[in-house]
Amino acid sequence: MSYKILVIDDDKKIVELIRLYLQKDGYDVLVAYDGREALDIARQKKPDLVVLDLMLPVIDGLDVCRILRAESKVPIIMLTARTTESDKLLGLDLGADDYVTKPFSPRELLARIRAVLRRVREMEDEGPAEIRVGDLVVDLFRHQVRVRGVPVNLTPKEFKLLETMIKARGRAFSRLELLERAFGPDYEGLERTIDVHVMNLRKKIEPDPAKPIYIETVYGYGYKFAEEGDVA
């Protein structure tokens, strides 16, 4: 299968360099040089992955990322010259799957693309598209969550944490494991960041966040989703 990759950058030299490496690796390459053109192509051609520069004319790259994530689950790898942690986390919070900092090695970008596509394939091969536990419904395909039939808005990180745990009910995950799943393996922040995200997630899905029935604390280690039979 030949994957379609949409490369979005206003620097035509960078686009052509990426195109060359991707085509040599067997990918079909689509290109766009501004945000509006990128959205038009994404909607028409339905790429399998998007490589997105954040500094774009017409429509800013962060807005493109936000719109794409609202409309589809296409994997997004950001290209950014911004090196501060807050800038990177902003893109990840908007739903990007990974980021590469400029200047970058085309081989590194290619490796990141392969890794993201591999994770997507693994997800598509795993289990049902929808998981129901008690009053909680998690639609893995549409990235949607409902509690007692009411849609719940989760951030991309909250959804990734919930998805990770609910697909392996009963398994205890360390904070570091969950951090890597939600933020990516290169994130260098504090493991306790996970506690804040779990607290917010509980507020949104638990009948009583003070007495959680879905996401259980594994003291001194991390968290797990309740085992089979523990939630009616």
- Per DSSP bridges, beta strands 136-139 and 130-133 are antiparallel
CATH 3.40.50.2300 domain range(s) in the chain: 4-125
CATH code, 4-125: 3.40.50.2300
CATH 1.10.10.10 domain range(s) in the chain: 130-225
134-186 pLDDT per residue, tens: 999 998 877 889 999 999 999 888 998 999 899 889 999 999 888 887 777 66
Tally: H helices and E strands in the chain: 8, 12
The pair of three-digit structure tokens given for residue 74, joined into one six-digit string:
């296409």
Give the pLDDT mean for 10-36: 95
Q: At what angle do helices 85-93 and 61-71 cross, to 10 degrees?
A: 30
Q: How confident is the model at residue 93 (pLDDT cuts 50, 70, 90)?
A: confident
CATH code, 130-225: 1.10.10.10
Q: What is the mean pLDDT of the chain?
A: 87
pLDDT of 14 > 60? The answer is yes
